[in-house]
Chains A and B, each alone.
Chain A
Amino acid sequence: MLKQALAICKKDFNSEIRTRYAINALLMFIIVVISVIKFSLGEDKISSEMNAGLLWIIIFFATSNGLSRVFVSEEERGTSLVLKLSADARSVFLGKLIFNTVLTFIINFLIIFLYIIITGLDIRNLALFSLTIGLGNLGLSAVMTIIAALISKASSKGTLYPVLSFPLLLPLLLASISATWLSIEGVPFGAIAGELQMIASYTVVVITASFLLFELVWND
């Protein structure tokens, strides 16, 4: 299953390099949003709580723009049958999940890098901040991947994606914002262990449920 999944993931990366469907849209979105924040803030400093909220708003909408493509482009171009005739449903889901997770990490690295440059954000506990962002990314890509599979069969895909994913992501976003804020403040691990446990448990539940449900979504 892993070998098939990695082959699907590799195909998606090569396809993205050739077509640049997601990357171009994402880069434009990130540059525009970061620029708007820079112009709005000017030289003002904002609180750690505001910084954490802003960061996750950018991450949520950036991933909403890019991650749906893994299934939507297959359905729109009629290539999903190629995958259905070449691999079992679980391998397809795992391949798409790996692709979306790597893409999320790349997008979010870029967002955070640019955000730190323009706002001069001072992160006092970088290790904890990285752990929070990493776990949050994993949960985010898991939810976004199964929602992408669901909406790829619908007619109004663009609107449905953020609308469907937001309520599902709300617990994850709240915990991630809280943990990000506290890690920026420089608290020790024990202070946000609850949030991190919640994010990790949420991610495990979503991935397990997605593997169980995906075959039904994929096959009809």
Chain B
Amino acid sequence: MPSETSQAKQNTGILLQAVDLSRKFDRRPIFKNVNFELRPASATAITGRNGSGKSTLIKIIANLLIQSSGKIDLYDGDTKVKKEAVYKYIGFVSPYLNLYDEFTGYENLKIVSDIRGYGHGNIDNVLKRVGLFNRKDDILKIYSSGMKQRLKIAFAILHDPQILLLDEPTSNLDLEGISVVDSIANEFKKDRILIIATNDPHERSLCDREININPDA
């Protein structure tokens, strides 16, 4: 691994590197010794049976959870990205992520843009892309679960991240919504890092590589 790390530091672009990553909950191991090295223009499916820790692993990659042992590092060119800055590189969609019900779709994205310190210029484009532009002024409370899922996708791609992490991205989506996910996934895997946690055959088909976190099963 040291040689790979030094090689990574010499390259330009993004590198996501996990070494012997393990996570326990209350002393019970969820997954052990996960290793991978991901660069731009890659699409990776994280698979494993229910409860195997796919969502946990994707949270650790997004720096939303800390691993029990091992290490995970993100390099931008030859610079190691500080943990507190990882969020700038990440777009994240997951079933346990919720946006604010009391605001409209547009307001939610505006709030996020303000917090991230970006302008509002990209909001309409992203809403059009996920098919929510005509409903952008409705509050989330009256959105269907599919519409909320679309807004989560808009939230994930709004800042044009280098790494897109999708946890069961097509859940609750209709055929048109699934094609939106397909189009975004295909765009990201051209020049950025795409990771999908899934057991769904269609979502797996969007990826060209698979990490099975419990290969013994």
> Does B bind A?
yes
Q: Which of B66, B97, B100 contacts A219 (CB 8 A)?
A: B66
B103 touches A14 (CB 8 A): yes
Q: Which of A11, A19, A84, A220 contacts B111 (CB 8 A)?
A: A11
B42 CB to nearest A CB, Å: 21
B100 CB to nearest A CB, Å: 6
- Secondary structure at the A interface, as helix, strand, loop or mixed, is helix
Given the interface contacts A7-B115, A87-B87, A219-B66, does A82 sit within 8 Å of B96 by beta carbon?
no
B64 touches A11 (CB 8 A): no
In the bound complex, residues from chain B placing their C-beta under 8 Å from that of A153 are none
Q: B5 within 8 Å of A by Cβ?
A: no
Complex: how many Å from CA A82 to CA B103? 14
**CB proximity to A under 8 Å, residues B40-87:** 62-66, 84-85, 87
Q: Name A81's closest neighbour in chain B (CB-CB).
A: B97
A6 CB to nearest B CB, Å: 9
In the bound complex, residues from chain B placing their C-beta under 8 Å from that of A18 are 102-103
Complex: how many Å from CA A104 to CA B99? 26
A84 touches B112 (CB 8 A): no
Q: Which of A8, A77, A88 contacts B85 (CB 8 A)?
A: A88
Complex: how many Å from CA A91 to CA B112? 13
Complex: how many Å from CA A87 to CA B64? 12
Complex: how many Å from CA A134 to CA B64? 36
In the bound complex, residues from chain B placing their C-beta under 8 Å from that of A4 are 115-117
Chain B residues touching A, range: 20 to 34
Complex: how many Å from CA A11 to CA B102? 11
In the bound complex, residues from chain B placing their C-beta under 8 Å from that of A90 are 84
A2 CB to nearest B CB, Å: 11
In the bound complex, residues from chain B placing their C-beta under 8 Å from that of A8 are 115
Most buried by A among B101, B103, B114: B114
Q: A10 within 8 Å of B by Cβ?
A: yes
Q: Which of B90, B101, B115, B117 contacts A83 (CB 8 A)?
A: B115
Q: Name A95's closest neighbour in chain B (CB-CB).
A: B115
Q: B98 within 8 Å of A by Cβ?
A: yes
In the bound complex, residues from chain A placing their C-beta under 8 Å from that of B84 are 88-90, 215
Complex: how many Å from CA A45 to CA B97? 55
Q: A46 within 8 Å of B by Cβ?
A: no
A81 touches B64 (CB 8 A): yes
Q: B92 within 8 Å of A by Cβ?
A: yes
Given the interface contacts A81-B97, A215-B84, does A3 sit within 8 Å of B65 by beta carbon?
no
Q: B155 within 8 Å of A by Cβ?
A: yes
A85 CB to nearest B CB, Å: 5
Q: Which of B64, B85, B99 contacts A84 (CB 8 A)?
A: B64
A82 touches B101 (CB 8 A): no
Most buried by A among B62, B97, B103: B97
Q: Name A78's closest neighbour in chain B (CB-CB).
A: B98
Complex: how many Å from CA A79 to CA B84? 19
**CB proximity to B under 8 Å, residues A4-41:** 4, 7-8, 10-11, 14-15, 18-19
In the bound complex, residues from chain B placing their C-beta under 8 Å from that of A81 are 64, 92, 94, 96-98
Q: Name B155's closest neighbour in chain A (CB-CB).
A: A82
**CB proximity to B under 8 Å, residues A66-90:** 77-79, 81-90
B92 touches A86 (CB 8 A): no
Q: Name B65's closest neighbour in chain A (CB-CB).
A: A220
Given the interface contacts A81-B92, A219-B64, does A86 sit within 8 Å of B115 by beta carbon?
yes
Q: List 22 A-B contacts (CB under 8 A).
A: A3-B117, A4-B117, A7-B114, A7-B115, A7-B117, A11-B111, A15-B103, A18-B103, A78-B98, A79-B99, A82-B112, A85-B87, A85-B92, A85-B97, A86-B116, A87-B116, A88-B87, A90-B84, A215-B84, A219-B65, A220-B65, A220-B66
